[in-house]
Structure 1
Amino acid sequence: MLYLTECPRDAMQGWPTFIPTTDKIDYLNALLKVGFSTLDFGSFVSPKAIPQLADTAEVLEGLDLSQSGTMLLAIVANLRGAETAASHPQIRYIGFPLSVSETFQQRNTNKSIVQALDDVARMQDICARTGQQQVVYLSMGFGNPYGDAWSPAVLGEFTQKLDGLGVSIVALSDTIGASTPATIGPAFRELTAAYPNIRFGAHLHTTPDTWHEKVAAAYEAGCRHFDGALGGYGGCPMAADELTGNMPTERLLEFSTQVGLEPGVNLEALGEAVRLNQRIFAGH
């Protein structure tokens, strides 16, 4: 089967008007009933940088995990955020964006890549203490608009460093929709062969006419873990003024059926989540 991470956090973070906390809680609780492997529910970051997610702690308190096997993931941008996330035992995964672009690392977290790698090492120590797991997103993982070096070899260099730090979950992240089958396939093929102890995921952004070729390229190269967002909403507000949306979860479920894999979701619950998704994003 495909293992799906639903990313309402990514859909919400750049939304221009504040989504009420109660609406977020209702939507996330609906998503928890669907049966996704993981729910990227919120982010412990500066409210000045991402005001939409200033209520993440309050949202977390409103989530009903009693009848859900879905694991929670929170994104952080620094050690302070990691410590905050680690203080909530409901959270299974702590995600950190490590960019292969020096320009974007500075733009996204106000740190150099060297400083960010030091944070990754210290976050590993935090996770070892709490029993949580760190997920490192290699952002700008398929190219960048800044002219910074990119290639599968660059991804390999970063992955080698992460492997040395004990990181066992790495998501290759498109960020701006720059990926193509010609870049996706070789990256996953080379990395999964070289680092069998690391679980690689695909966080792809796409336009409506390129989603299938991107998912197929990653799948054929051995990837089975995919991030998506219902409706394809979202993107990183730190990346560019014009964003390419998230991979629509609906398309990932469609692809799963096409290749004969069990989607593993409750379709009735999915329908309710889609209804709330449309009400929230169309109504704000």
Structure 2
Amino acid sequence: MKLVECPRDAMQGLHDFIPTAVKAKYINLLLQVGFDTIDFGSFVSPKAIPQLRDTREVLDLLDLAHTKSKLLAIVANLRGVEEAVQHQAITYLGFPFSVSETFQQRNTNSSIAQSLHTVEEMLNLCDQHHKTAVVYLSMGFGNPYGDEWNTEIVQHWAHELVNRGVKILALADTTGVSSPAKIKTILPALMNSFPQTEIGIHLHSTPQTRLEKIEAAYEVGCKRFDSALKGFGGCPMATDDLTGNMATEDLMAYLQSKGENLSLDLEKWLDAMAYSGKIFH
């Protein structure tokens, strides 16, 4: 069971800039909990995501000597890839690949075709620098723009990415439109089509529907879950409950109720929960 904690996703939409030392202290606490991966920052334009303009500085302040967690950084173009691969401490580079043309333009200022080329370049650079690419199939459950969406489109782009050498795919629900029925249809189809590929899930949700979505993914055999402490993020307004992230504590409680041994340090987890009030308030 791989749990990916996403402080980057939780923080990126906050309006007030979080001091670098505060970000680093928070992420250092999360690093001690024992998650498989920490999605800690992004190498994207400071104009696009001003909150994360200090990702390099945060990285320098992280204590990686006492953690088993690996670091993941998000990139949106080749410049970001070229910068991220230079950092030895980073294991994973995450790229948001949208199956919606409109959202791909909005999110990465490039077309799906251009993004496919970026993924190819990213895979080459990852190989050269001993990194692993994680590609998010964003808008994987539908989109609000009227772009055509169906399960065949999701399958098509997954096939294109896996054929190019992507080893980890995360099916992403960018706007909270997934449902247990959609999860139970799309996720097994991908897992069956690409048995050699690690398929995970990155869901956004209202608090009311979190549990049923976690349950749907778990029941079809999902072993990789993205989430964020207290469900923060997923929306520029941190207090907006509309489409926050999956709350890590909900995910942990559900998995533990199913007898999964998560091997997490719960004291450190409580420390991180307490400290989060300095960031999200």
TM-score, with structure 1 as normaliser: 0.96
Give the secondary structure class of the aligned counterpart of 1:149. coil
Partner of 2:162: 163
Question: What CA distance in whole angstroms lies between the structure 1 residues aligned with 2:133 and 2:162?
Answer: 12
Residue identity matched to 2:94: G
1:236 to 1:200, Cα distance in 2 relative to 1, 3 A: farther
**CA RMSD after TM alignment:** 1.2
Give the secondary structure class of the aligned counterpart of 2:245. coil
1:1-284 → structure 2 map (5 Å cutoff): 2-235=1-234, 237=236, 243-282=242-281
Question: What CA distance in whole angstroms lies between the structure 2 residues aligned with 1:249 and 1:66?
Answer: 24
Residue identity matched to 1:169: I
Q: CA deviation at 1:236?
A: 5.3
Question: What CA distance in whole angstroms lies between the structure 2 residues aligned with 1:151 and 1:222?
Answer: 22
Name structure 1 gaps, 5 residues minimum. Answer: none
Q: CA deviation at 1:101?
A: 0.3
Q: CA deviation at 1:279?
A: 2.4
Question: What CA distance in whole angstroms lies between the structure 1 residues aligned with 2:242 and 2:46?
Answer: 21
Question: What CA distance in whole angstroms lies between the structure 2 residues aligned with 1:38 and 1:236?
Answer: 22
Question: What CA distance in whole angstroms lies between the structure 2 residues aligned with 1:83 and 1:258?
Answer: 42
Is the contact made by 2:205 and 2:242 (CA closer than 8 Å) also made in structure 1?
no
Residue identity matched to 2:133: Q
Q: CA deviation at 1:146?
A: 0.5
- Structure 1: 4+ residue segments shifted above 4 A: none
Question: What CA distance in whole angstroms lies between the structure 1 residues aligned with 2:150 and 2:63?
Answer: 42
TM-score, with structure 2 as normaliser: 0.97
Residue identity matched to 1:187: I
| Deviation per residue, 1:229-267 (Å, 9 max, x gap) | 001010155xxx995100000011011111111122100
| Deviation per residue, 1:25-80 (Å, 9 max, x gap) | 10000000000000000000000110000000000000000010100000000000
Is the contact made by 1:175 and 1:236 (CA closer than 8 Å) also made in structure 2?
no
Q: CA deviation at 1:159?
A: 0.9
1:232 to 1:214, Cα distance in 2 relative to 1, 3 A: same
